[in-house]
Amino acid sequence: MSTASSQVPPVGAAVRLLPISGGPERLGRLDDWSTSPAGLVATAVVALDQASAAELTDEPVWAHVPLDSGAALVIEAVVEGTATPGEVLLTGVLALATEHQRAEPRADLARRAQLRGRVAAAARTIDLSRTGARVVLATDAALANLGGAGLADSELEVVVEVADEQTVTTRAEVVRVDSDRAELALRFIDLSESDAASIERAVLGELSTARDASAASLG
């Protein structure tokens, strides 16, 4: 994965640091950015509050760095402290470049879900991100009972099992209905920060596993 000049994040951009092993997201500011000649390894200098910098030092994280285009880059790195209080250095693999106008990573994740509207219906996710999901219901009849094509632009409560014994619950807007496939495209409305972090950890974990499997098959 190479990084073109249009994929260089601006200094001052807001950076989200998500500990891979668990725990809350931390927010920081990008102070410097560089990549290797091949564009596969990135180095970022990020300013945090001193407490967050101390807690994250030596921890593996995913760092989400936005681009001016509306897309974003994600690097997987171990946090290193520097001589400057509150400053950390991240050097790691450029794990993902999101699409133009799609700032949040999305993965083809199959997770059990429940949709709650005028009735409750079992479903599973087809893809998932912290901003929304695409879900498929078990049958056409289940979609019809929930409201069918009339669900477009309505709101539902959604429960997603993001990991074993870990669920997130949020309101969601139905942005598209595919009656032929019994699929709904959903936009999350009031997802909490902790639930958003849980979803993103599952998404990035899936993308990281797929990347490692692809690299192993080539090697």
| pLDDT tens digits along 160-182 | 999 888 999 999 999 999 999 99
Contact 116, 85 (CB under 8 A): no
Higher pLDDT, 3 or 108: 108
Does the fold of domain 112-198 match that of domain 5-97?
yes
| Tokens describing residue 142 | 């289940």
Rounded CA gap, 163 and 122, in Å? 17
Q: In 3-state terms, what secondary structure has residue 12?
A: coil
Q: Which option is the CATH number for 112-198: 2.60.120.920, 3.75.10.10, 2.40.10.220, 3.40.50.620? A: 2.40.10.220
Rounded CA gap, 33 and 52, in Å? 20
Boundaries of every domain in the chain = 5-97, 112-198
Q: In 3-state terms, what secondary structure has residue 188?
A: strand
Percent share of the chain, pLDDT over 70: 91
Give the pLDDT confidence score for residue 218 in this predicted structure: 66
| pLDDT tens digits along 21-64 | 999 999 999 999 999 988 789 999 999 999 999 999 999 999 99
| pLDDT tens digits along 200-217 | 999 999 988 877 676 666
User: 19: part of which helix (H) or strand (E)?
Assistant: strand 14-19
Q: Which option is the CATH number for 5-97: 2.40.10.220, 3.10.20.30, 2.40.30.200, 3.40.640.10? A: 2.40.10.220
| pLDDT tens digits along 140-158 | 899 999 999 999 999 999 9
pLDDT of 83 over the 50 cut: yes
Give the pLDDT confidence score for residue 217 in this predicted structure: 67
Radius of gyration of the chain (CA): 19
